[in-house]
Copies of this chain bind each other. A is one copy, B any other.
Amino acid sequence: MRTTIPDEILDRVAEKFRMLGDPTRLVILRALMAGEKNVGMVVTETGQGQANVSKHLKLLAEAGMVRRRKEGLQVFYSLGDPLVEDLCELVCGTIVREAQADVERNRKILKTWGGRS
């Protein structure tokens, strides 16, 4: 039996997912998956504006999905726990499976109805 989501943490669960529900944030997190980076590096790597990156990193840090370390002028961010990677891997796997199912379905359709153009 699987445990259900307790009411008390529903909002926090939603918050975590909401943080991952934005493509720009995913790109930022993907950049951090390769290792700790400062804001400037994330900016150049993602092509996003500095203000935007800073804002997103703040949100991610507040949600506890990213760690913050200050060193002189620069601030370094890194993934806090493997949760993010695990979640992304699961979802990516599902999407790949969906794509494969699509391909298979189309292959059958073509086999039955398709001819040479």
Contacts and interface: CB of A to CB of B under 8 A. Distances in A.
A13 interface: yes
A11 B30 contact: no
Interface in A16-52: 16-23, 26-27, 30, 33-34
Nearest to A85: B2
A37 B5 CA distance: 18
A5 B23 CA distance: 11
A98 interface: yes
Contact of A9 (B10, B22, B85, B95): B95
A3 interface: yes
Given A83-B90, A90-B87, A10 B33 contact: no
